[in-house]
Amino acid sequence: MTGKETASSRRQPIAIAAIAIGAAAILAVGLATPRSVAAGPEAAPSPQATEYLPSISDLMIATIQPRHERLWRAEQDGNWEFAKYELGNLKGAFNRLGHAHPTQGSISLPDMITSVTEQPFKELSSAIQSKDGAAFTKAYADLTDACNSCHQALNHGVVEIHVPTRTSPSDLGTNGKSRN
């Protein structure tokens, strides 16, 4: 190697180390900077966004009803792991609903939810654990009836949940009334 090549080969590790140190310093500054400052003022949520609370109906339609239906479809497909997963999600969705809306009129929503879902949830969990389709069918029908009893008690009897069928697009019914 010539003197020029030797000096150049010694500088390469130093240059690589300098680049690595510089990158680490930039990363450290980026991590230490508060997110609202780093991202700019648009990172802070608007007051309207922090005040928004979905209605009971919104939460039912967006989180609870689809999970109720997916739970049924999972069992129909013999996908017990997914049924277990969706049962957990359904329980969580009901808990979040009760937390977001602690009362409906003068009724404690978390207490009402627990009183109507506790037994069907236990039965569903047991049926899923044992992969017992007949026990699941009964427990699912009991949960569906419990949901409808809650709707009745809260003067929302027009909202009737059904056990889905393979051909139904949804488990939400029309309470036997014509759609005309």
- Tell me what pLDDT residue 9 has: 53
180 pLDDT higher than 50: no
pTM recorded for the entire structure:
0.68
pLDDT category of residue 31 using cuts at 50, 70 and 90: very low
Residue 38: predicted pLDDT: 47
Residue 38 to residue 155: CA distance in whole angstroms: 49
Query: Could you tell me the two tokens for 149?
Result: 């009893």
- Coil/strand/helix, residue 159: coil
- d(C-alpha 123, C-alpha 127), whole Å: 6
Q: Residue 36's pLDDT band (boundaries 50, 70, 90)?
A: very low
pLDDT of residue 50: 74
Task: Reply yes or no on whether the pLDDT at 67 is more than 70.
Answer: yes
By the 8 A CB rule, do 59 and 97 touch? yes
